């Protein structure tokens, strides 16, 4: 059985929901999954896993600080096993082409700066949890969301995640990590 470590960094909790959804799909695919927030991910959990999924919220174009620190501290371990990066942002949900490109550039910059080359990358639309924002952040996010999303009601939350795409990503990563583990087992067990 493949054991996957799923490390996430979230601000308002939406990336934790995405991580939980991925973990559920991986479990349904027969994997053992440990889900942990970036600040609580330790060396022991990483050593005991066969694959790693890292999920990060994006704010002001930057990944979650805990995720950036985790990737920097564990780059070699990430490179030694199947790994994936999941970026959760409103830019991904924004229908304007320039915002789609902006979302891709966030991932490209982070991965280039970190030196990490994950096997899979998923860009996932985020959410606007207005009910969790403070007064000033609610006003700012209402202003920013009005043009692309037509949102004026801040009394409720909005979810822009394509959950079917998240499920598809998780299944593909599961297939890939299982194939990699099988081929490694074959090489290790084969004769030379």
**Partners of 86 in beta bridges:** 55, 122
- Scored b (16 or more CB within 10 A) or e, 170-183 reads beebbeebbebbee
CA dihedral over 151, 156, 161, 164, signed as positive or negative:
negative
All structural domains of the chain = 3-126+161-189 (3.40.50.360), 129-160 (no CATH)
The whole-number pLDDT of residue 187 equals: 33
Tell me which of 16-20, 24-28, 64-68, 143-147 is least confident.
143-147
142-174 pLDDT tens trace: 988 888 888 889 999 999 999 999 999 999 999
53-107 pLDDT tens trace: 999 999 889 999 999 999 999 999 999 999 999 999 999 999 899 999 999 999 9
Residue 47 CB-density burial (10 A; 0-12 exposed, 13-18 middle, 19+ buried):
exposed
pTM of the model: 0.90
Find the radius of gyration of the CA atoms of the chain.
Answer: 18
Please state, in angstroms and rounded to a whole number, the distance separating the CA atoms of residues 101 and 94. 10
């Amino acid at each position: 059985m493949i054991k996957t470590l799923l490390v996430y960094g979230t601000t308002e909790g939406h990336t934790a929901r995405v991580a939980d959804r991925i973990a559920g799909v991986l479990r349904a695919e027969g994997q053992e999954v440990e889900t942990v927030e970036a600040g609580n991910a330790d060396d022991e959990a990483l050593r005991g896993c066969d694959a790693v999924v890292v999920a990060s919220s994006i704010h002001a174009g930057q990944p979650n600080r805990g995720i950036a620190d985790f990737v920097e501290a564990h780059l070699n371990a990430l490179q030694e096993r199947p790994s994936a990066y999941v970026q959760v942002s409103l830019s991904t949900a924004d229908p304007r082409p320039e915002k789609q490109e902006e979302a891709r550039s966030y991932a490209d910059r982070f991965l280039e700066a970190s030196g990490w080359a994950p096997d899979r990358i998923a860009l996932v639309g985020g959410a606007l949890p207005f009910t969790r924002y403070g007064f000033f952040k609610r006003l700012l996010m209402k202003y920013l969301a009005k043009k692309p999303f037509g949102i004026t009601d801040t009394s409720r939350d909005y979810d822009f995640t394509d959950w079917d795409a998240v499920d598809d990503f998780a299944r593909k990563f599961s297939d890939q990590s299982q194939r990699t583990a099988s081929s490694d087992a074959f090489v290790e067990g084969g004769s030379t």
